[in-house]
Amino acid sequence: MKGTRPSLRIRTQALTAVYIMLVVCDHLATATTRYLPSAPVSPWSSLPSSHISPSFLMSALSPSAEFPSFSSELNPLPLPKDFKKEQKSPQSPPSSLKTSRSSRKKPKSGSASKTLHKDLMRLSKLLPGVYANTQQYRQEVDREVPMNKRHVLLRSVYRHVHLGFLPRAFAVLVQDYSGDSLFPYRQRVHTFSVDLPHRAIRMKVWNFATKRTEKKATRNLDYFRKLRRKDLISQGSCDMFWRRLNRKTFVGITGKECLGYVRGEKRQSHAISSPETASVSRDFPLKFPPHSQVRITVSTTLTSHLLQTNEGWYRARDGKKLVEIDVPYNLIRTKSFSDERVKPRRRRMHQQAAQNDLPTKSSPPTREASVQRPSYVTKGDDDVDGFVKESHTGEDRLNEKSPTKPSDDMSDEEKKEMKDKEWVLPDFNSIIKALHSGQIVFYSVELSACSLPSQHKVKRLSFGDFVDSFESTFGGRSRDKASVRFWQTKYVQGNEGIEELTREITVQSNGRVVVRIHRKQPSSSHVAWDHVAQCKLFNAETGLGGVKLTSRPSEQVNEMATYGRLRSSLRRGRRQVRMIIDLNQCDGRTRGVKAIMGFNIRAYDFMNQGKAIEINQLITEAEHSPHKLLTGHFLQNGEVIFIKSFVPGTETDDFQHIQLLHQDATYRCALSGSDISKNHGPWGVRLFYTT
């Protein structure tokens, strides 16, 4: 018995140790089950299957060696302090806990970092441009799709900008237009940066903090370098995660944490990232309380020629579908900004530097640092610091050339775009100054980019010419009613013979352009059809607009101020002389507002042995009212007499058969360099020629 007692004690101690181990394991298993964080949540799992095709989901979610799938969560649950202390004990944790902790480890910046930086470089080359769903909109109009199911006509402009407080992020200014509006209904900034934990490209959406900042930045893109963190507002829960599927295809999607409030009750509802958000509530009335919280899901596919966007609104409480776009918006690329490419630096960066981190208050960006070259642009890339100084006024464009010349490293397309920006007249004031200073102005009209009547019969949608004759009017003190009108008349072969085609282009001071076209037979006053198109001026920065007006800033415009120089030029036939008439500076009365007219001197006659010159100019109007005939007599002393008369409907356009209805007004003017104008008399006539 004495020999067996030690063995019993050993057995008793062993059973006690086993019991204690079982209790400890049960306690650890309970703690692990209770405090283990939830499974990793991928932002791709929040996209409803109706948004994209199954093949798209398979390609997006399939892991690859080049671009691994997501393996980390967006918002991990915090672990309690006592649980963290238990992990410090020498006991080994369960295998499930090891797996969970290993899955939450941040990946090393190796091959994945290089791949993501290459993808960011490709995205920076692919994204900038102008996108519009004009083709989709016109197809639905032709099919007579009901208005409540029809897509809204949208245009989105993506322009590359540089943010001083985010030097490692690729940023674009996004301007969204609705219909034929001249002004964007929304302007925001999108930043793209490498996110190593999610192994994707994170896109943040920024809104301007104040209207003043938005106005300054959108007018001068170089102003973005001076912006600070407080000038922009963002919401992290509505970030989009982008992945590259193939060489020229990217796809992005928001996560489940992107929540908003209907009808703008909360500011978070403005942070979503699709161009259709402002139009959804208008096209699809939302029938739920205004304070309901909704989950917004946005998916975007980018290719070399298409930007496809889909969107869905779901009630956050129960996941019920509120609004969902059945057919995505297909925004086709209409213009690329090849001169705005950036190349992110190919180097290993710290994991925190690779993300879209923001600077702290203790280290704000300095003024000198904000204007330096971004760190992700290498020295051999396009020069982002140099920019073309454009002059938008007639006199400045006449005498000032661009200080920046096209470099030899630029491609032919980039040189062409730079030259187009110098030639284009972007607004009403630049057009007026160019015409009034005697410059030659060309115009090109693309009616497919304008708003036409629903049942139009216009087959010739693209045309152009140089401005031969124009007439500008100003409505007194108010410049809102100012406009300039020029026209074009040609003859085409119709079904019933030769027809007269008249096109009248009226540019208004607010930037809108009215193009009126009518077609009739010359032998009859009957008009076959008459159409009016609403357009806007072409903008070289955005690539939008159906009417483009250009001039040649390199040409030198000279003025001839005396009758002797005019007579000498016409006799020799060496120069084309343009005449600008300001009836407000002449003596004479007329009904209505006096206009400023301009045209080339043609079909002139020398009278009284060269002591006078007579000219005629027919002022055409694309209306049923009579045309106007302006007859001018240049006298040897510099005086010019104009007689403006109305011309009724005629059987032919030969001036021999034109019967003058009555004389409307007579004006007494003078050349700008004559003795009459020097003696404080009327002048009103200026003559120009180009060399």
3-state secondary structure of 481: helix
Strand partners, 74: none
For residue 242, give both structure tokens: 């982008």
For residue 275, give both structure tokens: 């161009």
pLDDT score for 250: 95
- What does the DSSP 8-state code read for residue 62? S
Measure CA of the first residue to CA of the last residue in the chain; give whole Å. 130
Range with the poorest average pLDDT among 49-58, 244-253, 521-530, 681-690: 49-58
How many whole angstroms separate alpha carbon 617 and alpha carbon 215?
44
| Residue predicted with more confidence, 370 or 655 | 655
Strand partners, 619: 628
The answer to whether 469 and 488 have CB atoms below 8 angstroms apart is: no
What is the residue extent of each domain of the chain? Answer: 111-337, 428-551, 557-690
* 29 φ/ψ angles, rounded to the nearest 5 degrees: -65, -40
How many whole angstroms separate alpha carbon 296 and alpha carbon 640?
70
Q: Calculate what percentage of the chain has a pLDDT beyond 70.
A: 60
How many whole angstroms separate alpha carbon 629 and alpha carbon 645?
5
For residue 64, give both structure tokens: 């690859």
* Strand boundaries in 103-199, DSSP class E: 129-132, 154-161, 170-178, 186-195
| CA angle (356, 359, 360) in 5-degree steps | 135
**Nearest of 657, 678, 608, 597 to residue 631 by alpha carbon:** 597
Phi/psi zone of residue 225: left (φ > 0), alpha (ψ -120 to 50 degrees), beta?
A: alpha
**With bands split at pLDDT 50, 70 and 90, how would you rate the model's confidence at 417?**
low
Range with the poorest average pLDDT among 358-362, 419-423, 481-485: 358-362
Range with the poorest average pLDDT among 291-300, 484-493, 614-623, 672-681: 672-681
- What does the DSSP 8-state code read for residue 147? G
Per-residue b/e over 652-666, b at no fewer than 16 CB within 10 Å?
Answer: eeeeeebeeeeeebb
pLDDT score for 183: 81
pLDDT score for 88: 39
Q: Centre a 10 Å sphere on the Cβ of residue 125 and count the other Cβ atoms it contains.
A: 17
How many whole angstroms separate alpha carbon 29 and alpha carbon 31?
5
The answer to whether 333 and 368 have CB atoms below 8 angstroms apart is: no
**What number does CATH give the domain 111-337?**
2.40.128.590
pLDDT score for 691: 77
| Cβ neighbours for 405, distance < 8 A, ≥ 6 positions apart | none
What is the arithmetic mean of pLDDT over 465-479? 81
